[in-house]
Amino acid sequence: MEILATFFNVGLVVATIRTTTPILLVALGGSFTTKAGIFNIGLEGQMLIAAFFAVIGSIWTGSSFGGMLIGVAAALAFALVYAVLVVSFRANEVVVGLALNILAGGMTISLMKAIFGTRGSVVGRGIVGLPKVQLPGARDILGPSYAQLISGYTPLVYVAFLSVPLLVLFYARTRLGLYLRVVGEKPEAAETLGISIARVRYIASLLCGLFAGLAGAHMSLGYITMFTENMSSGRGFMAVAILIFSAGDPLKVLLGCLLFGFADAFSLRLQILNFPSYLILAVPYAVALLALFALSWRTRPKLIRETLETMRNALAGKPQDSGGKLPSDNRP
């Protein structure tokens, strides 16, 4: 029991929230492009370049906020290139995304060597980390040990988690949200309605870049203030995996990200038990793979799905419903 107590405590929840934040931010960004019908594999690169320029920016401007802005600007530049090639030039989105990821990796290492004269990582040198927000009154209400559950995070943690309900409202209640969904689900209908598909997809890509930029800034200026070669280490790809099985739905994205955040936080704790570190490092990727495979079962062939549907209806004594009512169709 004692060993369980060292694993499952308030600290684990706090660690989960921390590790969830960057992947949640980048996955929410990807939800814009997913909803608009673009398969964006370039999230990884946008995050990495933002993390690097956030560090540069915070050194130049001497403030974490300035660093964050410059990081986001770098991610937006990548998102713009992505949109120009994919939307205007109609290039293959996988090829462009992979190329931009490789570009981000090579560029950050080259620039790091040119600016700092080192390989590997940049630590110290006047990097300013994001401040920790102490919520007033949290201590009085929850007591000293539980106050850390809601207080003392960087601002981006709050931004990430508050964005989830905001995005739900955005997709359900705003005109742009509706346009995004139409362009993604039925581009022909969007064209008939006179919606500019290209413009909507550009907006989606840039919104995606904004969130990926925030995710990158949180990686390098959040709880650790440093930049390391390829420090995004596959988080962008995990986000893409989440986007595939959540179809960009913000609530499902949140659930998926919490799963990965938990896997991350939990695997860090496993190191106490002297498990080989290489296997522990592989845990989040393995979880992502398993989730991708397990949930792809949902998209099993239509024939099986419809047979199951009719069988369920017959068992419930309902009349046969030939319309394609999908459970995911939960619009207001």
Partner 1 sequence: MIASLLPRNLRRTLAGQLLALAIALALGAVVILMIDENPLRVFATLMRGAFGDSEKIAGTLLQTTPILICGVAACIGLRGGMFNVGIEGQLFLGGFAAAWVGFSFALPPVLHVLVAVAAAVAAGAAWVSVPAYFRVRFGANEVVSTILANYVAVLLTSYFTIFLFKRPGGWSETPPILPSAYLPELFSFSRLNIGLLIGLALAVATALFFRFTTTGYAVTMVGSAPKFAEYGGINVRRAGFGVLLASGAVGGLAGGVETLGVHHRFMEGFAPGFGFDGLIAALLANGSPIGTIFTALFFGALRAGSLLLEVDTTASREIITVIQALIILAVSADLLLRRKGDRTGGRRWKF
80 binds partner 1 per the rule CB under 8 A: no
- Give 223: exposed, middle or buried? Use CB within 10 Å, 0-12, 13-18, 19+: middle
Give yes or no for a contact between 79 and 46, defined as CB atoms under 8 angstroms apart.
Answer: yes
Among the listed residues 166, 224, 255, 286, the single contact to partner 1 using CB under 8 A:
286
| Count of beta carbons in the 10 Å neighbourhood of residue 296 | 11
325 binds partner 1 per the rule CB under 8 A: no
Give yes or no for a contact between 216 and 44, defined as CB atoms under 8 angstroms apart.
Answer: no
180 binds partner 1 per the rule CB under 8 A: no
- Residue 317, both tokens: 């004594």
81 binds partner 1 per the rule CB under 8 A: yes
- Cα(44)–Cα(105) distance, rounded to whole angstroms? 9
Counts for the chain of helices (H) and strands (E), in that order: 14, 2
| Type of residue at 322 | S
Give yes or no for a contact between 208 and 100, defined as CB atoms under 8 angstroms apart.
Answer: no
96 binds partner 1 per the rule CB under 8 A: yes
Query: With respect to partner 1, which residue has the nearer C-beta, 25 or 85?
Result: 85
Residue with tokens 């995304």: 97
Residues 218-257 vs partner 1: string with x where CB under 8 A? ---------------xx--xx-xx--x-------------
Site residues for partner 1, window 19-48 (CB under 8 A)? 39, 41
Q: Which residues neighbour 62 within 8 Å (Cβ) at sequence distance 6 or greater?
A: 126, 128
- Residue 277, both tokens: 């570190």
The least distance separating partner 1 from the CB of residue 120, rounded to whole angstroms, comes to: 11
Query: With respect to partner 1, which residue has the nearer C-beta, 166 or 281?
Result: 281
The least distance separating partner 1 from the CB of residue 237, rounded to whole angstroms, comes to: 5
Query: With respect to partner 1, which residue has the nearer C-beta, 24 or 138?
Result: 24
Query: With respect to partner 1, which residue has the nearer C-beta, 98 or 150?
Result: 98
**At 153, phi and psi to the nearest 5?**
-90, 170
Q: Where along the sequence are the contacts to partner 1 (CB under 8 A)? A: 39, 41, 81, 85-86, 89-96, 98-100, 102-103, 105-107, 109-114, 119, 187-188, 190-191, 197-198, 233-234, 237-238, 240-241, 244, 276, 278-279, 281-282, 285-286, 288-289, 292-293, 296-297, 299-300
